[in-house]
Structure 1
Amino acid sequence: MTVDQVSDRDRELLELPLPELLAAARERRDRVHGSRVTYSPKVFIPLTMLCRDRCGYCTFAQPPARLAAPYLLPEEVLDIARRGASMGCHEALFTLGERPEERYPVAKDWLNRHGYNSTIDYLADVSRLVLEETGLLPHSNAGALFEDELAQLREVSASQGMMIETLRPDLDCHRGAPDKLPERRLATLEAAGRLHIPFTTGILVGIGEGRIDRIVALEAIAESHRRHGHVQEVIVQNFLPKAGTAMHAVPPCPEHAYLEAIALARLVLPDAVHVQAPPNLSDDFGPLLEAGIDDWGGVSPVTADHVNPERPWPALDRLRAETEKHGFALAPRLTLHPEFVRHPEAWLDEALRFPVMDRADAEGLGRDDPGAVFPERIEAITAEDGAEVRQIGHDSTAWYSGAPVSPADLLGGPAAAGGRLREVLDGVLEGQEAGADELLTLFAARGPEVRAVAEVADDLRRRVVGDVVTWVANRNINYT
């Protein structure tokens, strides 16, 4: 495509020098999303690595001869999910090849022997199993699906996703991939919108497409979101060559092209759509933040990135330190973003509303407590102490009122506050009265921001009453 085929606004963005483009993206990110960057604590469940598509850059898809079995068994899926739940994860990311039963007889035979008509049928079944047994929220990344398949998964998945990648139909890397046809990807994106599914999509940068192609893909995503409001985040992923693939000798995506694509995503997409960059595909996190992202995506303390196994996830401590070093607070989220959590009737199947709200905080983010949140189950018993029920199954370790565990330390580490929170704190110190909006800003503090709020509160206490703390000796009289 040529520059004449895009809008005047997009043409102006492409003509901006990179430093100006990055600055504009940062300004919009800061204005819309403030000083918070989110991530999703997850486990990665590779349900099947068989795939009917053959993409020139992929090492995830494998032939049957290289796999011990066509699909993970339910017990294997649950083992991964339980380990994630015990580590405080919120998301079970199901990644799998597209329609392997249409290419490999061994896949079709396995499904038939286990009572399933398709991979999607099996995915729906194990997603429900993970939700019921562990409380982790399934996110289905099953590729280009038809509307009835998306609807089937909506009953058991809190969110779904599929990378658009590019809308160029003539790339060599997709010649063996019928599911990568642009019309197939766009049809899935539209169907997800009609079904009110919180949806993740994205573009892949450096696989042979050009700058105009990236703009075209981003505009198509933006238009779909304007029609349906369902695109929760757009991943901007950089191509890295992998040994053993057709593109092993292709140079990696240049950094300037990658940063430009991130900034364009922030400036082209509607403000409500979050922009994500995978942290394990870059050695330096700072430039990604400077380009306008506000989300790191899924990060797992348990499983590898099976799509990019040569690039391990960064340790959460490092991710937090790097994020805070650039003036942001890192916050865990669920597999769906807060904008969708806060409107469960519109975006979630009824069976998923309680599991989602059980893991969400008042803002719709994930709880800061890193403990496990297993589904609570009870059974009726007869006991000497008069108890009529008892809890069965795994014990949750996340703190709640009355729990036999200590609450998370919210004041650890140095204080830091920027953006709107800094404005509110400075106003309070100058004697301004905090209104409802300001109080909401204070309650939304995370990480080092909580310490900053506490320090201002401590300073005000010292000004008003000094360093004397009083107490009263009393006796409670229970008269009923």
Structure 2
Amino acid sequence: MHRRVITFSRNVFLPLTTVCTNVCSYCTFRRPVEEGCVMPPEDVHRTIDEGVALGCTEALFTFGERPGEVPGFSDHLAALGYTDILDYCYDLCGYAIGAGILPHTNAGILTYEELERLREVNASMGLMLETTAEVPAHRNSPGKDPAVRIAMIEDAGRLHIPFTTGILIGIGEGPRDRLESLEVIADLHRRYGHIQEVIVQNFCPKEGTEMAGFAPASTAEMAETIRAAREILPPEVAVQIPPNLADARRLIRCGVDDLGGVSPLTIDYVNPEHPWPQIDALKSLVGDATLRERLCIYPRFIERGWYPASLATLIHTLQKQIEERSL
């Protein structure tokens, strides 16, 4: 009998800015310009270098959606010599590659052309669908329009970008909405074959937000949704949960395949009140399953060559590195 395998990626989290045009009712990541401007390049470089020294293989670049549309942001970016946050991200991805770590960018809504350009310097990319439902939590967040997010995930498929997406549980959607969201993702993957993993993430109320008094998603709701995800999604698409937010020890058995990016260096800037488990502690969370490290690009996409040629040597070097680490 084969033991189940649960995977994870060793990463560093790089929040290039917390300025965002969306105002979601549950979010504390977003900050006004005067509080959450641009992560300086020297800080990004230092974090990447320290992460590489700790054996990290993924540089997760994320930032608020369309920050350039927020008054005052462009002045801060201009001080670094840039007019567009995507140009800044592109150059930092290049630094990461040179340092020996694979970029994975989650930049919110991007056009087809922007995705195509960032694909040149990323091993994989991502965008949470969150939900196909129209929920009050998103009423001030134009980028959370389900149709807009679905269209971008479809564009990523057309471009053969290995992609991460997911749903957020407990933000006002119901059980039927969760099933519909999973069906939409499954259909996108059947058409384009590009979905690596689907995150089933539980809403956690945060002080200072409109939804601070809302009940968090329960473990029972998570378990039900994970089981549904495993039934609805094609077998090759991993079902992921965040081990710092969810009760991984209880949920693993429901059909979880992956624990996502876990960092030995940086915090979860989206959920800073929930520290990552130590990587060594992940082994106890998976019970009798086998814990296995992976890259941010899954093996089947490496085999298909779904990555820029400039990343070929680094991908194979890091793949060999994690294989040797698992011996």
**Superposition TM-score, scaled by structure 1 size:** 0.66
After TM superposition, list the pairs within 5 Å mapping 1:235-314 onto structure 2.
235-282=199-246, 284-314=247-277
Is the contact between residue 331 and residue 368 of structure 1 (CA under 8 Å) also seen in structure 2?
no
> Could you give the per-residue CA deviations for residues 221-268 of structure 1, whole angstroms, max 9, x where no partner exists?
111111110000000000110001110000001221111111111110
Q: 2 CA distance for matches of 1:328 and 1:152? A: 39
Is the contact between residue 241 and residue 248 of structure 2 (CA under 8 Å) also seen in structure 1?
no
Q: 1 CA distance for matches of 2:208 and 2:221? A: 25
After TM superposition, list the pairs within 5 Å mapping 1:74-93 onto structure 2.
74-93=41-60
Report how many residues are paired: 327
After TM superposition, list the pairs within 5 Å mapping 1:157-176 onto structure 2.
157-169=122-134, 171-176=135-140
After TM superposition, list the pairs within 5 Å mapping 1:342-353 onto structure 2.
342-344=303-305, 347-353=306-312
Corresponding letter in the other structure for 1:117: T
* Partner residue in 2 for 1:203: 167
* Partner residue in 2 for 1:112: 78
Question: 1:318 is matched with which residue: 278, 281, 291?
Answer: 281
After TM superposition, list the pairs within 5 Å mapping 1:37-116 onto structure 2.
37-67=6-36, 70-105=37-72, 107-116=73-82
Corresponding letter in the other structure for 1:342: E
Corresponding letter in the other structure for 1:198: P
Is the contact between residue 332 and residue 368 of structure 1 (CA under 8 Å) also seen in structure 2?
no
* Partner residue in 2 for 1:355: 314
Are the structure 2 counterparts of residues 368 and 249 from structure 1 closer, same or farther at C-alpha, using a change threshold of 3 Å?
farther
> Could you give the per-residue CA deviations for residues 357-390 of structure 1, whole angstroms, max 9, x where no partner exists?
11113xxx93342xxxxxxxxxxxxxxxxxxxxx
* Partner residue in 1 for 2:186: 222
Q: Match of 2:149, SS? A: helix
Q: 2 CA distance for matches of 1:289 and 1:151? A: 35
Q: 1 CA distance for matches of 2:190 and 2:86? A: 28
Q: Percent same amino acid among aligned pairs? A: 46
- Tell me how far 1:288 sits from its aligned partner: 1.4
Q: 2 CA distance for matches of 1:58 and 1:368? A: 39
- Tell me how far 1:112 sits from its aligned partner: 3.3
Is the contact between residue 63 and residue 106 of structure 2 (CA under 8 Å) also seen in structure 1?
yes
Aligned alpha-carbon RMSD (Å): 1.5
Is the contact between residue 266 and residue 275 of structure 1 (CA under 8 Å) also seen in structure 2?
yes
After TM superposition, list the pairs within 5 Å mapping 1:20-39 onto structure 2.
35-39=4-8
Is the contact between residue 301 and residue 315 of structure 1 (CA under 8 Å) also seen in structure 2?
yes
Q: Match of 1:342, SS? A: helix
- Tell me how far 1:220 sits from its aligned partner: 0.6
> Could you give the per-residue CA deviations for residues 22-77 of structure 1, whole angstroms, max 9, x where no partner exists?
xxxxxxxx99xx5111000000011111111110111111112223xx21122110
Question: 1:231 is matched with which residue: 195, 202, 213?
Answer: 195
Question: 1:155 is matched with which residue: 103, 115, 120?
Answer: 120
> Could you give the per-residue CA deviations for residues 95-137 of structure 1, whole angstroms, max 9, x where no partner exists?
11001110232x11233343433211211111111111x1110
Q: 2 CA distance for matches of 1:247 and 1:368? A: 45
Gaps in structure 1 of 5+ consecutive residues: 1-29, 370-407, 411-480
Corresponding letter in the other structure for 1:316: I
Are the structure 2 counterparts of residues 110 and 65 from structure 1 closer, same or farther at C-alpha, using a change threshold of 3 Å?
closer
* Partner residue in 2 for 1:143: 108
* Partner residue in 1 for 2:97: 131
Q: Which structure's relative contact order is higher, taking Cα pairs within 8 Å and 6+ residues apart?
A: 2
Corresponding letter in the other structure for 2:307: L
Gaps in structure 2 of 5+ consecutive residues: none
> Could you give the per-residue CA deviations for residues 310-331 of structure 1, whole angstroms, max 9, x where no partner exists?
00000112111232xx211111
* Partner residue in 2 for 1:367: 323
> Could you give the per-residue CA deviations for residues 130-178 of structure 1, whole angstroms, max 9, x where no partner exists?
111x111000011111111111110001000000000112x11101111
> Could you give the per-residue CA deviations for residues 400-436 of structure 1, whole angstroms, max 9, x where no partner exists?
xxxxxxxx8x4xxxxxxxxxxxxxxxxxxxxxxxxxx
Does 116-125 or 173-182 show the bigger shift?
Answer: 116-125
Which structure has the larger Rg over C-alpha atoms? 1
Corresponding letter in the other structure for 1:218: L
- Tell me how far 1:339 sits from its aligned partner: 1.4
Q: 1 CA distance for matches of 2:105 and 2:40? A: 17
Q: Match of 1:155, SS? A: helix
Q: 1 CA distance for matches of 2:114 and 2:79? A: 21
